[in-house]
């Protein structure tokens, strides 16, 4: 099983745009069960993403990256599942989805589908805002920064 697939190796570009980002030091400290679980979830998320793309009748969906972390806000009040952000694929930046591995590891299929749909909606909204800003000749895209509770801008990465 490949964890990161480049477009040069890809036979299925929709499924292959889901990446498990493994921090070189952190990943080795995770238990084998967590590592195997995250690899399975990457494949499960790729399947869900492909199913969403097929039902939506679109050839492209935002890329997804899953990090081997847990994200919590400074007050530790909850676990943050994901956010819309910038995802780099083959050196090119895309509006994409970033997920924290800890909540993803325990999420059922329906919850993962709901999470992806929610974050994809943010991606399309960000794209719409950026296009509108570009048409107005603006370069300041700070209006796209997350303002609601799903933001992880002030969150803290936690080891698990």
Q: Are 103 and 66 in contact (CB under 8 A)?
A: no
Tokens 């960000």, located at residue: 126
Burial class (CB in 10 A: 0-12, 13-18, 19+), 27: middle
Site string for Zn ion, 125-154 (x = CB under 5 A): -------------------------x----
Q: How far is the CB of 121 from Zn ion (least distance, A)?
A: 8
Q: How many angstroms separate the Cα of 48 from the Cα of each of 5, 9, 12, 113?
A: 17, 21, 14, 6
Q: What is the dihedral of CA 28, 17, 94, 157, to 10 degrees?
A: -30
User: Shortest Cβ distance from residue 44 to Zn ion (Å)?
Assistant: 21
Cβ proximity to Zn ion, 30 vs 107, nearer residue: 107
**Closer residue to Zn ion (CB): 20 or 115:** 115
Considering only residues 42 to 61 of the shown chain, the ones binding Zn ion according to CB under 5 A are: none
- Closest CB 28 distance from Zn ion, rounded Å: 32
Give the nearest distance from C-beta 139 to Zn ion in angstroms.
25
- Give buried/exposed letters for 79-105 (b at 16+ CB in 10 A, else e): ebbbbbbebeeeeeebbbbbbbbbbbb
Cβ nearer to Zn ion, comparing 30 with 99: 99
CB of 53 to Zn ion, least distance (A): 20
Residue 46 or 123 with smaller CB distance to Zn ion: 123
Residue nearest to Zn ion (CB): 150
CB burial string 11-26: b at 16+ within 10 A, e below: eeebbbbbbbbbeeee
In the complex with Zn ion, which residue's Cβ is closer, 117 or 131? Answer: 117
Which residues contact Zn ion by CB under 5 A?
150
């Amino acid at each position: 099983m490949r964890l990161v697939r480049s477009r040069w190796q890809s036979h299925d570009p929709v499924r292959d745009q889901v990446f498990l980002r493994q921090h070189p030091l952190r990943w080795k400290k995770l238990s084998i069960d967590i590592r195997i679980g995250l690899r399975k979830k990457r494949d499960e998320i790729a399947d869900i993403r492909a199913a969403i793309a097929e039902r939506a009748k679109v050839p492209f969906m935002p890329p997804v990256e899953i990090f081997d972390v847990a994200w919590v806000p400074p007050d530790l009040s909850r676990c943050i599942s994901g956010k819309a952000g910038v995802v780099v694929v083959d050196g090119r930046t895309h509006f994409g989805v970033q997920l924290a591995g800890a909540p993803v590891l325990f999420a059922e299929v329906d919850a993962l589908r709901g999470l992806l749909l929610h974050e994809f909606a943010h991606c399309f909204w960000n794209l719409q805002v950026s296009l509108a800003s570009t048409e107005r000749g603006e370069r300041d895209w700070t209006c796209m920064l997350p303002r609601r509770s799903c933001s992880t801008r002030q969150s803290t990465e936690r080891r698990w």
